[in-house]
Amino acid sequence: MSNASIELKVPSVGESVTEVEIAEWLKNEGDLVRKDENILVLETDKATLEVPSPIAGRLTKVLKAKGDRVKVDKVVAVIEAGESGAATAQPAEEKKSAEAPAKKKSEETAAPSPTAAKITAPKIVAAKSPDIQAAEKTVEPATEPVEPSTSKASAPAASAPVIAPVESDRAEEIVPMSLLRRKIAEHLVAAQHNAALLTTFNEIDMSAVMALRKDNQERFQERYQIKLGFMSFFIKATVEALKEIPQLNAEIRGSNIVYRNYHDIAIAIGGGRGLVVPVLRNAGRMSFAEIEQGIAEFARRVKENKIKPDELQGGTFTITNGGVYGSLLSTPLVNPPQSGVLGMHSIQDRPVAINGQVVIRPMMYVALTYDHRLVDGREAVQFLKRVKELVESPVRILIEI
């Protein structure tokens, strides 16, 4: 290998990650690349990330294909610096265009003339049934072209083979499960097998929050360049409820219970390759604007596959919002080693009884799944009731009462 070439290795993507999967090559072998231009996408059991080129040059060798699993620090490609790689590695399109005229000329030279083709081409006939072959043995070959006979006495025609119709709507496609999807599956199964999970439900009148958002949305956006959403209210309410029910912010570690005096709230966000759960560190110390900006930034980078593995680790409690997909009610799963997860759902106008009168209010079902080994049912119900109280009266969040 010349001094002008460098090996592109799988970078370290987190202390617990030892293997990655090649998710996609953004450049082909022979392509020119700029320094810091992304050339491939790696997928770990936690996230996907793009790998940039460390130098400007040409991608001369691709050593691992899409779908291959590779250990961290192993070589996946070779990049030759500058333009010197052009002589040894043409881009695929240039090779194709250069080879096309030569191929065409070769075909024209090798192709026989129409007359020669007529003389030398082998005669291809369809296989005949035995009764037709027997009849042909008794007939002298004709020296002149003879029109096909329409007589009923002629030999019977060979029966056409019966071909079963292809049912295109019953086709199957086999696709390997991605590393991320496999890890999600393992994690969810482990959650159900290793914890005693129960779920409690409640419903929240969203009228006050919706009115507050409507009254302050324009000023909020002008000041912070971000919309005021529902999630910031729920995160604030959740942190306050966790302070009162610390078991839901704790974890079981061996034979010990680890209580935390900080609140790192994980937010479930759907991406193209699966659900990822980045963590808002010290969410209890964040303002409404900081929470909304943090969530928006996570959502953008999840969509672009730029979430870092360390941003998905260490959450103390999780919030997931199935309502964005239209879910009315569901049972979320705890993300081990956490002991609780809050599920938000769609807001629907429903009749409710208030002060003896039936009125229509925008209502949301909420669900808390918890690890019964650590959290009792009474505590779970108190937690969800506290979240309900704070969201229905958001001024309590602001003055912490």
Contact (CB, 8 A) for 302 and 278: yes
Contact (CB, 8 A) for 217 and 364: no
Helix (H) or strand (E) run with residue 155 in it:
none
Helix (H) or strand (E) run with residue 207 in it:
helix 207-224
Residue 114 DSSP code: H
Contact (CB, 8 A) for 90 and 58: no
Q: Determine the Cα–Cα distance for residues 234 and 342; give it in Å rounded to an integer.
A: 9
Q: Is 372 noted as a catalytic residue in this protein?
A: yes
Q: What is the DSSP string of 4-38?
A: TEEEEEPPP--TT--EEEEEEESS-TT-EE-TT-E
Amino acid (1-letter code) at residue 278 = P
Q: Determine the Cα–Cα distance for residues 317 and 334; give it in Å rounded to an integer.
A: 9
Beta strands 340-344 and 317-321 are: parallel
Kindly tell me the burial class for residue 401, based on how many C-beta atoms sit within 10 Å of its own C-beta (0-12, 13-18, 19 or more): exposed
Q: CB count, 10 Å around CB of 376?
A: 13
Q: Determine the Cα–Cα distance for residues 166 and 307; give it in Å rounded to an integer.
A: 44
SS3 state at 178? coil
Q: CB count, 10 Å around CB of 400?
A: 9
Q: Is 193 noted as a catalytic residue in this protein?
A: no
Length of the chain: 401
Q: Determine the Cα–Cα distance for residues 42 and 60; give it in Å rounded to an integer.
A: 19
Both tokens of 89, joined, read 């590695």
- CA end-to-end distance (rounded Å), the chain: 69
Contact (CB, 8 A) for 49 and 112: no
- Residue 372: HSE in the Cβ half-sphere, 13 Å Cα cutoff: 8
Catalytic sites, residue numbers: 372, 376
